């Protein structure tokens, strides 16, 4: 412990013996003992030699306590002030005596006192003795509680090896998972990725495992770890996902995506032929919808067959069409348009490109659509885009691209009505899909 600091004036020092004598008169022996110990500690800090007398009287006061539980409580409390006043060995001896006395107790009170003694040992820097005392706690829940506190002591001290040795002694899966997560984070913080990987299987509770996976993504992204490190975590997390039946890999890949590692995430998904990657890819893409640059890179680097790519493409385009359209997503729409084999997705691509002011590019995709109904939707969106620019001729030409007699007629009729609406100052309704759906239903109903 550090030395004492004398900050008392001579006049105040004269008061100290009077204060000690007054404390001796406190009727309750527990309060008397703790008060004298506190006074002793303050006198020690002030450099007043009377601190020894105060502590001596505090220890004597403990002998006046009748209740054995209160006796043990007083021993724990006084030991703390002894320790803080440079008397470490006396503090340890007092705690050991308290522990011996606690073993004579019966019932629930025994565990309560043992917890107090173990915590007292932690306060005065005796984690190994605290661990010893905790083994005498009979209630498993209480024992896990103090084990977790001892564990935290070792973590703060930086002794991760000792902290790790406590894990198997914890009976509660939740407590074990929680403290394993703390150890896991500390290994990651130190850049000890191999050690962190060894801890992962000990985390059995989903919440803490999920938190661990996100922590991996955050930490290795911040550390700018090598790609080899990324792949090691991918393999470990993939194995955990398969063995537990829980999709931790998606959590990891989404975490990396949110931190800008979209190229690597796409590479991982391209390689996962033995994993249900289509849904994972879709979830990653939907996470990136608010970031056009990252979304564009992810979709460009992704290499999936049409049956896996098209559901993702459909979901992304649906989401983009919901909100305010933006030219920032033009490349996303173009990449999807070039790679999809789903004609309904091509309608969405054509519609989006039309809405952001690129009807000519939209036309290259609309031309690939053979189904009359879908073709009418795509060219309808293109026609509206031309109409919005005041280009009536191009709007009519776009409508004429639907060569099916029935659907071509329907679309031409809709566009011509909108030409009139625009000419008389009315805002042309931009969406044709709802009217197209009604028209399709009517045709289906009559069997046309």
Residue pair 320/352 in contact by the 8 Å Cβ criterion: yes
- Alpha helices in 259-357, H assignment, sequence order: 262-271, 277-287, 292-301, 306-322, 330-339, 343-355
Q: Cα 223 from chain centroid?
A: 18
> Tokens at residue 416, please?
């011509």
The 8-class DSSP code of residue 275 comes to S
**CB-CB neighbours of 209 under 10 Å:** 24
pLDDT tens-digit profile, the chain (448 residues): 444 444 455 556 667 888 899 999 999 999 999 999 999 999 999 888 899 999 999 999 999 999 999 999 999 999 999 999 999 999 999 999 999 999 998 888 899 999 999 999 998 888 999 999 999 999 999 999 999 999 999 999 999 999 999 999 999 999 999 999 999 999 999 989 889 989 988 898 999 999 999 999 999 888 878 889 999 999 999 888 888 888 899 999 999 999 999 999 999 999 988 788 899 999 999 999 999 999 999 999 999 999 999 999 999 999 999 989 999 999 999 999 999 999 999 999 998 998 899 999 999 999 999 888 788 788 878 877 777 776 777 767 766 666 656 656 666 666 676 665 654 445 544 455 666 566 566 666 666 5
**CB-CB neighbours of 245 under 10 Å:** 6
> Tokens at residue 214, please?
């996100």
CA separation, residue 445 to residues 163, 378, 405, 414, 435 (Å): 72, 23, 18, 21, 15
Provide the b/e sequence for 106-117 (b: ≥16 CB within 10 Å): eeeebbbbbbbb
Residue pair 127/99 in contact by the 8 Å Cβ criterion: no
First to last CA, the chain: 95
Residue pair 389/362 in contact by the 8 Å Cβ criterion: no
83 closest CA partner among 132, 122, 130 = 122
| Dihedral sign for Cα atoms in the order 268, 273, 275, 279 | positive
Separation between Cα atoms, residue 400 and residue 383, nearest integer Å: 10
Separation between Cα atoms, residue 229 and residue 357, nearest integer Å: 44
> Tokens at residue 304, please?
């999936």
Q: Cα 283 from chain centroid?
A: 17
Separation between Cα atoms, residue 407 and residue 216, nearest integer Å: 54
Residue pair 189/195 in contact by the 8 Å Cβ criterion: no
Placement of tokens 């905790």 in the chain: 134
Separation between Cα atoms, residue 379 and residue 425, nearest integer Å: 23
Residue pair 84/103 in contact by the 8 Å Cβ criterion: no
Separation between Cα atoms, residue 386 and residue 17, nearest integer Å: 98
Phi and psi at 104, nearest 5°, equal -85, -10
Separation between Cα atoms, residue 119 and residue 110, nearest integer Å: 14
φ/ψ bin of 303: left (φ > 0), alpha (ψ from -120 to 50), beta (otherwise): beta
Strands (E), 107-237: none
- What is the pLDDT, as a whole number, of residue 424? 42
242 closest CA partner among 181, 202, 201 = 201
Q: Is this model's pTM higher than 0.75 or not?
A: no
> What count of Cα atoms within 13 Å lies in the side-chain half-sphere of residue 47?
8
The 8-class DSSP code of residue 68 comes to H
Placement of tokens 């019932």 in the chain: 107
> Tokens at residue 21, please?
């004598």
């Amino acid at each position: 412990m550090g030395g004492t600091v004398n900050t008392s004036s001579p006049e105040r020092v004269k008061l100290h013996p009077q204060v000690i004598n007054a404390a001796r008169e406190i009727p309750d022996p527990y309060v008397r003992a703790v008060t004298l110990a506190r006074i002793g500690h303050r006198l020690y800090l002030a450099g007043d030699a009377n601190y020894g007398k105060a502590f001596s009287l505090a220890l004597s006061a403990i002998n006046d306590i009748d209740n054995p539980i209160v006796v043990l409580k007083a021993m724990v409390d006084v030991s703390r002030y002894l320790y803080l006043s440079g008397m470490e060995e006396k503090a340890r001896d007092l705690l050991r005596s308290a522990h011996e006395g606690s073993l004579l107790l019966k019932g629930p009170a025994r565990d309560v006192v043992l917890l107090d003694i173990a915590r007292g040992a932690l306060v005065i820097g005796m984690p190994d003795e605290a661990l010893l005392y905790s083994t005498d706690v009979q209630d498993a829940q209480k024992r896990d509680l103090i084990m977790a506190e001892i564990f935290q002591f070792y973590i703060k001290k930086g002794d991760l090896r000792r902290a790790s040795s406590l894990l198997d002694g914890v009976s509660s899966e939740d407590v074990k998972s929680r403290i394993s997560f703390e150890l896991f984070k500390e290994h990651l913080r130190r850049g000890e990725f191999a050690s962190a990987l060894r801890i992962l299987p000990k985390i059995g509770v989903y919440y803490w495992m999920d938190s661990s996976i996100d922590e991996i993504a955050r930490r290795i992204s911040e550390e700018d770890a090598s790609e080899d490190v990324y792949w090691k975590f991918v393999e470990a997390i993939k194995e955990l996902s398969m063995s537990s039946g829980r999709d931790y890999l998606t959590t990891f890949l989404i975490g990396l995506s949110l931190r800008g590692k979209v190229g690597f995430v796409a590479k991982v998904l391209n390689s996962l032929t033995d994993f249900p990657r289509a849904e994972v890819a879709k979830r990653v893409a939907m996470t990136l919808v608010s970031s056009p640059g990252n979304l564009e890179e992810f979709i460009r680097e992704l290499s999936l067959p049409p049956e896996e790519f098209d559901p993702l493409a459909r979901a992304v385009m649906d989401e983009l069409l919901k909100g305010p359209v933006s030219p920032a997503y033009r490349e996303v729409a173009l990449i999807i348009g070039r790679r999809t084999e789903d004609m309904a997705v091509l309608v969405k691509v054509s519609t989006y490109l039309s809405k952001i002011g690129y009807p000519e590019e939209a036309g290259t995709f609309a031309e690939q659509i053979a189904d009359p109904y879908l073709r009418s939707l795509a060219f309808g969106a293109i026609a509206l885009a031309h109409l919005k620019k005041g280009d009536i001729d191009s709007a009519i030409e776009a409508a004429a691209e639907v060569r099916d007699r029935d659907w071509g007629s329907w679309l031409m009729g809709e566009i011509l009505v909108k030409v009139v609406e625009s000419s008389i100052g009315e805002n042309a309704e931009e969406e044709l899909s709802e009217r197209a759906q009604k028209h399709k239903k009517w045709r289906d109903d009559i069997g046309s």
